[in-house]
């Protein structure tokens, strides 16, 4: 099994630019989670989907952040416009079903200059 | 809301046992997890324990759960330099779907 796949692994961009992070969950998993990791705030859940439907987006920082899951094998997290304070590691995780064990991808390291 | 606390740092000598502690506040937690994060890498699931258990052993790893005190620990026997990493405790309550993570404990294994 390939595990959760995220791309890109690293992203450096300038303030104001649009950033799109991508995630492919483990095949057969129907729950997908986006987390953000920073030194100051640790690991925070941004949003999670169940059967491609957003269930809880209360962790999304503000309107600049949006997430989609057009099908069971693909999700995006978009930041538009990006700001330096968005610099963090963004993790995607998937689980067989809601409440099941979550498996994490390698993360995308985002630096906004 | 839920809160998970961990000490930030732990140093041990190679070959000794490591014990990483975690406390949580949500009494309705159903599963408690330990994840390992190596530098520049993602989170690797190490083990988990269901809340109606008090101990789980998996090779060098032993998880102890004191549900009354809401205290979870991870013991690593015969700690090796490859065990150096950040260890995250996380709890998952029955009604919610997300994990609440602790701040992570940086384990340093000295030769």
When the pLDDT of each residue in chain A is averaged and rounded to a whole number, the result is 93
Q: For chain B, how far is it from start to end, CA to CA, in angstroms? A: 41
CB-closest option in A42, A43, A99 to B97: A99
Nearest CA in chain B to A104: B43
Check residue B39 and give its pLDDT.
87
CB-closest option in B30, B42, B97 to A48: B97
Angle at A60 between CA A54 and CA A65, to 5 degrees: 95
* CA pair distance A74, A79, nearest whole angstrom: 17
Question: A–B: how many Cβ contacts below 8 A?
Answer: 43
Each residue's pLDDT tens digit, A22-70? 999 999 999 999 999 998 888 999 999 999 999 889 889 889 999 999 9
The yes-or-no verdict on residue A19 having pLDDT over 90 is: yes
Interface test with B, best of A4, A25, A43, A47 (most B CBs within 10 A): A43
């Amino acid at each position: 099994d390939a595990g959760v796949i995220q791309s890109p692994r690293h992203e450096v961009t300038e303030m104001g630019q649009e950033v799109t992070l991508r995630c492919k969950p483990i095949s057969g998993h129907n729950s997908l989670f986006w987390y953000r990791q920073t030194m100051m705030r640790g690991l925070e859940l941004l949003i999670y989907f169940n059967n491609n439907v957003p269930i809880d987006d209360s962790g999304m920082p503000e309107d600049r952040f949006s997430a989609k899951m057009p099908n069971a094998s693909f999700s995006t997290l978009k930041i538009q416009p990006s700001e330096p304070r968005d610099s963090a590691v963004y993790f995607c995780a998937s689980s067989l079903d809601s409440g099941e064990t979550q498996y994490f991808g390698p993360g995308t390291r985002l630096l906004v200059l | 809301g839920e809160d998970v606390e961990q000490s930030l740092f732990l140093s041990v000598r190679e070959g000794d046992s490591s014990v990483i502690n975690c406390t949580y506040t949500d009494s309705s937690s159903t599963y408690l997890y330990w994840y390992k994060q190596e530098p520049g890498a993602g989170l690797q699931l190490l083990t988990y324990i269901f809340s109606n258990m008090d101990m789980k052993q998996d090779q060098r790893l032993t998880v102890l759960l004191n549900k009354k005190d809401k205290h979870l620990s991870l013991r690593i026997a015969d700690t090796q330099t490859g065990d150096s990493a950040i260890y995250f405790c996380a709890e998952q309550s029955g009604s919610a779907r997300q994990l609440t993570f602790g701040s992570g404990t940086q384990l340093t294994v000295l030769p």
